[in-house]
Each structure stands twice: as C-alpha cells, then as structure tokens.
Structure 1
C-alpha cells in the first residue's frame, strides 16, 4: 500500500511538472491555459510518434483528433440558416440571419479560419459557433471558407482557394442572391486565416476586373511574415502557449512543403542574412526597430546574420512571396487596402507581425485600428465554450464584433 502511495505521489509530481509553465502575471486564466497547453503537447507528441512510425502524417492525425473533440461542443442558434455551398470549386459554409419584412440589404463578412493552414475547419464548432454569433450579432451574411489543408495541398493552393471563393462571392449576381449590400462587405480571418485574408485583400485591391471590393478587412492575430523569427514578440514569447516559436516555424515549413532540417537555420534568420541578395529589397519592410513602439521593442536586439544560407531561399522561394507574407508588400499595394482592424495579443509570437502591418498601412495612408490586449494569448478568440472557455476569448470576440458593427 505504501508503494502505491509513493507511486501516486510520483505520478502527481511528474504531471504537475509537465503541466506547469512560468507565465507572465498578466495572462488571464493561467492554470486553465497551462492545462490546455499540456493537452496540446501530449496530443502533438502522440501525433509525431505516429508520423515517425510512418502510420500517417502527424497533421492528418492531429486534425482528426481536433475535429473529433470539437464535435463535443456546440452553441444553439435556431434563427440562423446554415447552408453548405461551392464557390468556384471551393467549399464554403454560409450563415444567413432570417429575412425581415421591408429589410434593407444585409452587410456581409467573408471569414477565413485559422489553424496553421493545416488544422480546423469551417464546419467544426469552434468556427461554426464564431460565425453563427457574428451572423446574429451583426445581422449579416457570413461566408466561411473551407479551403484545402496541408498536407493535402501546400502553398499557394490555400491562397488560391480563399481568393477564388472571395472573388466568386463579390460578383453582383451572387451578392444579390444572398441579399448582400455590395458596399458593406468585410474580409476577415484569424491567425493563418488572417494571413490568407490579408493576402486576398491585397490581390483583389489590384484586380481591375472586379467592380466590387471589400469595404473593410479585419485581421485577428495574423501571421504575416517568415522573414524574421526574432522580432521582440518571437523572442519574448518563444515558449508561450498555444503557439511556441518552433511550432510556428514548423507550420511555415509544412505550408511550403519544406524540409524540417531547415528549422534551425530559419530560427536564427540564416535565410535572410545580409549576404542573401534575394532578401535585400524586403529588409526595409520588416525593420521592426522603426515599426514597433518602444513598449514592444523593450531591450530586445535584432538578429541579423552577416553570412547565411542563400540556398534556403532557392529551395523555398515562397518565404519571400508576398502571397504568403503580406507584410512584404510594397507601399503601392498597401495604399490600396481598405479600412483595417488588427487584433493583437501581448503573449503571442505573432504580436509584432500585426503591429508592424498596422504601422505600414498607417504610413501608407490607410485608416487602421490596432486593438491590443495585454492579458491575452494566441488563438484565444475561438476558445469561448466549455471546457476551453477563456475570459480572453469572450473579451477579444466582443471587441472584434463591436468594431465590425460600428464600421461595416
């Protein structure tokens, strides 16, 4: 009996050691975040073991487990009509509030979900619930894009899926079918979906054949560049749940169908060293020493290698492709962007991506709202339902919807 108690105590101690992470004192619901992160790590490590044994791709297994767990959660909303459709070969889910007698045309949001270009779905409850709540709160038609995922396809296919679905929806006859006001359309997304939303918005802003363009773009903790993995937020939050730096780098490698052996070189910015000529013209677009406020720069120093590995860019040229990294866009493109909302979280490696994009857009003459949350973390906006319900999720979601309501 005594041995059993000793074993139990040892297991409890090891579990506590595995779960506990030193977090900033400002993080909301810290113990709940630690438990969520520990669960993620266990699942990810299991998936990597399955991948190592060559039983299946780790992202396929991970997505299956996420979607299986996600089916346990739902939010009722009987007033919203939900239909699945195909826009120019791309699956979408459309959320429509009930029509009211003598009602004017509705506003609309094209929403692109996050998940590292590899995980989640427009049909899972995390995003199904978010889009339902948006449709209800805004009395708007919400189009959620079901783009194809890694490893089924890699860049630029996710971008093309999102672009085709958006351009199809922007056609006058399609908008009329859904009773949408062509002057009141936003394009939005979170994380990797924010990446796709920003890239699509840049593309449609330059398309001379489009008569209708989005009025707004709203980007939620977007990932916008793979040029510098040592911005202050990457350094400050390198081990932060839910998105440590090494995980974000691996998502980029998977998106580009690259080799994991390149991860360390990317981490220390070897791919954008001073002797890598392909990166030279983009350096000014990502000079965080001039784009970030001092409160974000703190005492962090730039990591710029003198000599690096130009062969990385030769092997993965998409690292410097504006369609993958919208923060690299030139000023002429940025000037064409619509009124913009960018939500960032202090405890997030991607914080500075969003802040730098906001500053570059502002410098280009675009009206920008930067909505920063000191106590929130990456991905928090979709975590609003038990058992992954966070006060940070409700807080950010309400602020995001409030801005859309006031500006769309």
Structure 2
C-alpha cells in the first residue's frame, strides 16, 4: 500500500467476510477509492457511452486518429462476481484507468461492456448481453467505423469477466453456428478467471479459502446468485454434494475436464486430495442444469471447441481461490493445440490487477498490468 492513510487502515481492519459490518465497510471503502482514482484518468483518449445491439458499452478511442491506418480492437468484460462493478469501476479500483492505458499505449479501440448484473439478472442474461455486444463489435461495419484491423481483435476480462470472455470466445471461435462470421477473436486475455462450479475443494480453494480479497464462501455465493440457486443450498457446495458420483449426467468424460489431480502439476496439487462424494443430493444436477452448461462453466468445453479458440494469455495468482481454474484451463487449451501464455504470480492475490494506483498500490499489481500490456503489444 502506497500510503498509511488512517481511513484506509480503519476500513480494512475488519476482514471477516461473515461480519455484519463487512459490507458496510466495503461500500464505504470502494466509494473512497473511486473518488481518489477518478482524477488519474489518462488524458487524450476519447470516451463515448453508447450501445452495441442494445447493450450499454463504453468505447475508448486512442488519441492517434484512425485515418489511413488500422488499429487494434479489444472488448473487455469487467469482474465483480456477476453482481458488482461497471464499465468504469471495480469493487476496488478503476477499470476506466486500465482501459484508457490500453487504448493510449497500444493504439487500441477498447469496448467495455455494461452487462446486466445480479439481482436484476441471472445466467444466461449476462452471458447473452456480452455475446450480443461481441457479435456487434465484430461486424465488418463496426470495425470499419472505428478503423480496426479485423485480424487484430481481442476479448479480455477479469474474474467473472474472465468467465464471460472465455465463454464468448468459445462461442464465437469454436461453435459451428458462428462459422458464417467473417471476423473472429484473434486472442483472448483472461485475468484470474472463474471457470467452474463443480469442485469447490481444489487445492487453491482450500489453501486460500480465508485469503482476501475473495473468500471461498463469497465465490460460492456468487455462483449461486449467478445460476439462480437458493442460497440455503450453499452447504451442499462446500462438500461437493452437488457433483457426487451418483449424478449420471456428470459423465466420466466431463469429470476428466476438471480433474485437477491430472491437470495440475505437483507444485500446485501439493498435499491435497480430491474430495469425491459417492452419494450427494439426489437429482441435484437435473434441477440445476446450468451447472453443466459450458456457457456458464467454460472449463467443461470439449476439446473440439477448445481447439478452435484463439491463443490465450491467462494470469493466475498463488493466493487466490481461482488459481486452479486458470491453471486447468491453460492446460486444457494447450492439450487442444492452442498457444497459451500462462503468467503466474507467486506473490499475487485476487484483485491485485486493479490495485495499481494510490490509495491501493501494490507492486504485484503493477507488474501484472505491465505484463498484460506487453503481451497484448506483442500478440495482438
């Protein structure tokens, strides 16, 4: 942290996510962060709030004009557990600053999507919002309007936004229904993405269950809210009852696609053992089919879909419950023949990518952001 501000210290002193004061403190803290970061916006970038296919978006156009030469394009989906965040603000930082930097430094037209959030929307609404905006963005007419090179268009997102970016990339690049589209994504950048909801006992979920800024309890709750599952069923998810062996719809083939005992190296498996339940809640997956829907759970996609996905940058952090989601997806993409840059931060934690300026300023966040920018510079 760059400053020993007493207000920040007092608001962060309460770190128990079960505390009644936690939400109140978090809201106050986020308001303070947004107030302080708004003055650090990158000048020169033209910002427009418009709609793509009826979906609100914020478009960032670089200072250099598009006349006579083509620019990069990038569509960004923000994080926040499908419940928080906007095109400009995260819970803890500013997407606006990051998107302005990408636009300015990389001469890129960035489109940040304002998809609908919980409690007003559940799956598949946020996904469909993002897909509709992506299809509009990739149309030849829109690319020409913004002078974007159709061979240099990326999709990116962090956390829940990484989930949406992965799912949209699979749909646009990997599904036969979109084969008629002349333009597809050339690269994808996933920042500590959340990719599966069938195993909340992976090594990273257990190792980091009490590590801020994303607790295991909170991530399970985000999933239940997104999939419109009664929160009273949360205990079932803690012990993997929802993915017990008795569920015939979760076939051995599907289980292999998120088998961390195979997909992770020993460095990340450590001394943890898989939590496999023989008999769980009867008929659970039939009642909640979205748990097996690849549009919500991209890690379950088949190899034939993954093989068509664009080359990927996947950022993971050691102190993050979602670490193994990203590592497993990187492995599965590589096994399918996709070029993957796996960027892991041993000192990283969930949310660090957004913590790059005062009042919350971490060296690991700055390194992660710079790595993301460099990868886009060299690959997009």
Same fold (TM over 0.5): yes
CA contact (8 A) 1:34 1:241 kept: no
Cα distance between partner residues in 1 of 2:277 and 2:306: 28
In the TM superposition, residue 146 of structure 1 has moved relative to its aligned partner by 0.7
Within 5 Å, give how 1:155-234 maps onto structure 2: 155-205=123-173, 206=175, 207-234=178-205
Residue 45, structure 1, aligned to residue 20, structure 2: yes
The CA distance in 1 between the partners of 2:9 and 2:202, in whole Å, is 24
Could you tell me whether the CA contact under 8 Å between 1:109 and 1:140 is conserved in 2? yes
Q: 1:286 to 1:40 in 2, by over 3 A?
A: same
Instruction: State whether residues 66 and 120 of structure 1, in contact with CA within 8 Å, keep that contact through their aligned partners in structure 2.
Output: no
Aligned to 1:325: 297
Residues 64 and 107 in structure 2, CA contact (< 8 A), matched pair in contact too: no
CA distance in 1, matches of 2:303, 2:263: 14
The TM-score with structure 2 as length reference comes to 0.91
- Counterparts of 1:13-92 in structure 2, within 5 Å, are 38=13, 41=16, 45-46=20-21, 66=30, 69-74=33-38, 75-92=40-57
Give the superposed CA RMSD: 2.4
CA deviation profile, 1:140-198 (whole Å, cap 9, x unmatched): 11110111110011110000000000110000010011111100001000000000000
- Contact conserved, 2:66 with 2:146, CA < 8 A, in 1? no
Shift in alpha-carbon separation, 1:379–1:286, aligned structure 2, 3 A: same
1:354 is aligned to 2:322: no
Q: Which has the higher contact order (CA 8 A, sep 6+)?
A: 2
- Aligned residues of 1:63 and 1:119 also touching (Cα < 8 A): no
Instruction: Measure how far apart 1:315 and its partner are.
Output: 2.9
Question: Is the counterpart of residue 134 in structure 1 residue 106 in structure 2?
Answer: no
Which residue is 2:307 aligned to?
335
Q: Secondary structure at the match of 1:158?
A: helix
Asked if the contact 1:80–1:97 (Cα under 8 Å) also holds between the matched residues in 2, the reply is: yes
Q: Deviations over 1:202-232 (max 9, x none)?
A: 0001212211001000000000000111111
| 2:84 counterpart SS class | coil
Q: Which has the higher helix share?
A: 1
Corresponding residue for 1:245? Answer: 216
Structure 1 unpaired stretches of 5+: 1-27, 50-60
2:80 maps to 1:105: no
- Distance change >3 Å, CA 63–CA 115, structure 1 → 2: farther
Separation in structure 2 between the aligned mates of residue 237 and residue 158 of structure 1, nearest angstrom: 27
**Partner SS state of residue 37, structure 2:** coil
Match of 1:392 among 344, 360, 364: 364
Residue number among 246, 249, 256 corresponding to 1:284 in the alignment: 256
Going from structure 1 to structure 2, the CA distance change for 1:65 and 1:146 (only over 3 Å counts) comes to farther
In the alignment, is the contact (CA less than 8 A) between 1:216 and 1:338 conserved in 2? yes
Larger Rg, first or second structure (1 or 2): 1
Contact 1:187–1:197 (8 Å) recurs in 2: yes
